[in-house]
């Protein structure tokens, strides 16, 4: 799609910046997949292995991993077509997209700063370069780039930024082509990740400042946004449908509205803190067990939130950029701030990908202004900027290593939160089990069960490891416990059937496999092992029928 013509920007520095960002993430090419959504999106997703018409229909009509993001699923299918299950190719696509996003952040910031001719070219160029650099190399970006499952972040931002850039061109020249391009690119952003739904409000901020379109009339800018808001509404409904169906929406009974508001304010300031002090960045931040608004954990963020808001309002007449950047930050965070709670995390680094642009803009503009005014200190200022940039790059490289493999990934999480994230032990146990390290796997499963004894899957996982070690009696105890917690748990019946088969309890095995088949009649292996159980019972006809069913379903 050809973008609207604007006054040519000196893009070469931004291309250099994109290259720097790409080289920074080259080490991620040696990373593998992780057992956190990657199996659902790529490794075990048979849908993406056929890039045909049926796949396209599925992508646009079905939720995937409790989300509706068809363009993201198409990107995964294209990657599979090109690279198969070689993780380097999947990482390469995400790195290229992030590098392009870094370029676009600089370009958009430059276009905003040069909206009117009041700002010098060198100052605007310097501010834009610094903004892009801050955005591209900050370690808060690592989760969105190094995690294959977060392709939706970098892809959504790509179209989001292109849409904003097109709209800036429209606001300058009122070109119908630029407006339609912005609307079309917005639709593509929504089909990549629904977090883009806030873009109409972002465009209204641009209309207000720096475009100044509300000075003439508020009616036209508002009417122009109607198609954008219609797309946002449709995306919100599709997202609610997908996440509700996938069980990702947490009810108010579990987290009250009162709790969510205080948590949302805390999270807003938490992201700012992590931007300034990017240490201890975690793949999963557990929610606090209780909310006490009078504790310092909540009072301090509320005070900081209020102070930033009041400060931005008080200096609005002199410096509009602070309030508008603050509004952009809050608006773009709104879908993931926890008012509508999806999942159990308190926060996530990936949620800062779009909101972080406003902080990058302020950092770039502030740095450029300081450089312009403090002429005698310019060598020192350049040295400080260089040191900060190298420091952030070092943290980014270090953070990227965390995603190298599943054991490294979950060991890092356990190191940060040894007593509050049971899923970290369960998933590391699965990684150990895949490597054949069954004793270590059982140790992790046991630790996870100690932290959350009500999670049925943990018992099935540990029972499977016990099966692998030949400790079938212990395995059966775990499968029994899993069925107590989760009646009708197919995997528990199936694996208990395997244990009973090994113990020579053919009757119990036959009952378990029959129950597993009743719950899910399309498991070839269940029919095969049922056939063995029937043979042990001397019921040859039933064994023959079960074997035939297994072969019919493709068991080899």
DSSP 43: I
What digits encode the pLDDT tens for the residues 462-516? 999 999 999 999 999 999 999 999 999 999 999 999 999 999 999 999 999 999 9
Last residue of a domain, one of 380, 401, 422: 401
Q: Are residues 494 and 372 in the same domain?
A: no
Q: Are residues 391 and 493 in the same domain?
A: no
Which residues, other chains included, contact 504 with Cβ-Cβ below 8 Å and sequence gap of 6+?
536
Contact 308, 276 (CB under 8 A): no
> What pLDDT does residue 256 have?
63
Q: Are residues 539 and 454 in the same domain?
A: yes
Q: How far apart are CA 233 and CA 240, in angstroms?
A: 11
In a domain, 44, yes or no: yes
What digits encode the pLDDT tens for the residues 197-252? 999 999 999 999 999 999 888 999 999 999 999 999 999 999 888 877 655 444 44
**Could you identify the residue written with the tokens 């301090």?**
300
> What pLDDT does residue 249 have?
47
Q: Are residues 127 and 219 in the same domain?
A: yes
Q: Are residues 530 and 385 in the same domain?
A: no
In a domain, 309, yes or no: no
> What pLDDT does residue 245 have?
61
Q: At what angle do helices 12-24 and 121-137 cross, to 10 degrees?
A: 10
Q: How far apart are CA 372 and CA 123, in angstroms?
A: 7
Q: Are residues 181 and 78 in the same domain?
A: yes
Q: Are residues 35 and 123 in the same domain?
A: yes
In a domain, 362, yes or no: yes
In a domain, 511, yes or no: yes
Q: Are residues 206 and 64 in the same domain?
A: yes
In a domain, 251, yes or no: no
Last residue of a domain, one of 331, 366, 401: 401
Helices (H), 148-248: 151-173, 176-190, 199-208, 219-224, 226-245
Contact 167, 178 (CB under 8 A): yes
What backbone torsions phi and psi does residue 50 show, to the nearest 5 degrees?
-130, 100
Q: Tokens for 183, please give them.
A: 């609307």
Q: Tokens for 531, please give them.
A: 């056939």
> What pLDDT does residue 555 have?
79
Residue ranges of the chain whose pLDDT lies below 70: 1-9, 116-119, 245-258, 290-291, 293, 338-344
Q: Are residues 165 and 190 in the same domain?
A: yes
Which one, of 231, 264, 66, 83, lies nearest residue 149 by Cα? Answer: 66
Which residues, other chains included, contact 132 with Cβ-Cβ below 8 Å and sequence gap of 6+?
14, 17, 102, 103, 105, 106, 109, 360, 364
> What pLDDT does residue 116 have?
62
Q: Which residues pair with 507 in a beta bridge?
A: none
Q: Are residues 361 and 412 in the same domain?
A: no
Q: Are residues 380 and 510 in the same domain?
A: no
Distance of alpha carbon 191 from its chain centroid, rounded? 15
In a domain, 318, yes or no: no
Domain that holds residue 33: 12-246+356-401
10 Å Cβ neighbour count for 216? 9
In a domain, 520, yes or no: yes
> What pLDDT does residue 317 have?
87
Last residue of a domain, one of 401, 434, 454: 401
Q: Which helix (H) or strand (E) holds 377?
A: none
* Structural domain total, the chain: 2
Which residues, other chains included, contact 295 with Cβ-Cβ below 8 Å and sequence gap of 6+?
none
CATH number of the domain at 498, please. Answer: 1.25.40.10
Q: How far apart are CA 36 and CA 410, in angstroms?
A: 10
**pTM, entire model:** 0.92
10 Å Cβ neighbour count for 319? 14
Give burial (CB, 10 Å; 0-12/13-18/19+) of 80: buried
What digits encode the pLDDT tens for the residues 90-119? 999 999 999 999 999 999 999 998 876 556
Give burial (CB, 10 Å; 0-12/13-18/19+) of 478: buried
Q: Are residues 372 and 423 in the same domain?
A: no
In a domain, 265, yes or no: no
């Amino acid at each position: 799609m050809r973008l609207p013509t604007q006054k040519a920007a000196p893009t070469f520095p931004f291309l250099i910046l994109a290259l720097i960002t790409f080289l920074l993430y080259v080490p991620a090419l040696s990373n593998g997949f992780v057992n956190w959504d990657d199996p659902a999106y790529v490794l075990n997703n048979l849908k993406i292995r056929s890039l045909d018409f049926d796949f396209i229909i599925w992508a646009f009509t079905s939720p995937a991993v409790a989300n509706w993001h068809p363009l993201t699923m198409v990107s995964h299918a294209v990657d599979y077509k090109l690279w198969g299950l070689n993780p380097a190719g999947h990482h390469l696509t995400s790195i290229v997209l992030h590098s392009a996003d870094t370029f676009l952040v600089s370009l958009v910031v430059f276009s905003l700063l040069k909206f009117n001719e009041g700002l010098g070219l060198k100052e605007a160029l310097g501010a834009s370069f610094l903004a892009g650099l801050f955005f591209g190399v900050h370690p808060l970006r690592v989760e969105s780039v190094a995690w294959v499952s977060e392709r939706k972040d970098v892809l959504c931002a790509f179209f989001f930024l292109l849409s904003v850039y097109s709209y800036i061109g429209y606001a300058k020249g009122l070109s119908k082509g630029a407006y339609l391009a912005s609307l079309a690119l917005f639709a593509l952003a929504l089909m990549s990740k629904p977090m883009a739904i806030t873009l109409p409000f972002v465009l209204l901020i641009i209309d207000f400042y720096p475009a100044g379109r509300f000075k003439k009339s508020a009616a036209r800018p508002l009417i122009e946004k109607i198609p954008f808001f219609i797309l946002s509404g449709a995306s919100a409904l599709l997202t609610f449908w997908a996440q509700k169906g996938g069980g990702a929406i947490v009810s108010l009974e579990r987290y009250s509205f009162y709790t969510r508001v205080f948590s949302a304010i805390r999270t807003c300031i938490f992201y700012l803190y992590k931007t300034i002090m990017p240490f201890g960045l975690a793949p999963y931040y557990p929610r606090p067990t209780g909310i006490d608004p009078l504790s310092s954990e909540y009072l301090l963020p509320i005070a900081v939130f209020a102070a930033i808001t009041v400060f931005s309002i008080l200096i609005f007449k002199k410096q509009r950029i602070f309030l508008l950047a603050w509004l952009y930050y809050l608006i773009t965070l709104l879908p993931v701030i926890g008012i509508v709670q999806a999942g159990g995390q308190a926060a996530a680094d990936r949620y800062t990908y779009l909101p972080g642009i406003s902080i990058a803009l302020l950092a770039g503009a502030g740095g450029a202004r300081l450089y312009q005014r403090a002429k005698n200190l310019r060598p020192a200022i350049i040295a400080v900027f260089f040191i900060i940039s190298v420091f952030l790059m070092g943290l980014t490289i270090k953070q990227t290593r965390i995603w190298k493999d599943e054991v490294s990934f979950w060991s890092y999480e356990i190191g940060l939160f040894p007593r509050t994230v049971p899923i970290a032990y369960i998933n590391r146990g699965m990684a150990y089990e895949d490597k054949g390290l069954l004793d270590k796997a059982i140790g992790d499963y046991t630790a996870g069960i100690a932290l959350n004894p009500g999670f049925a899957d943990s018992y099935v996982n540990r029972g499977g490891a016990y099966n692998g070690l030949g400790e079938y009696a212990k395995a059966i105890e775990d499968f029994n416990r899993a069925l107590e917690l989760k009646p009708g748990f197919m995997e528990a019946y199936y694996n208990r059937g395997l244990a009973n088969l090994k113990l020579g309890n053919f009757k119990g095995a036959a009952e378990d496999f029959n129950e597993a088949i009743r719950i899910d009649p399309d498991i070839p292996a269940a029919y095969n092992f049922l056939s063995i159980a029937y043979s042990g019972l001397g019921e040859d006809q039933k064994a023959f029928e079960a074997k035939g069913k297994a072969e019919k379903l493709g068991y080899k």
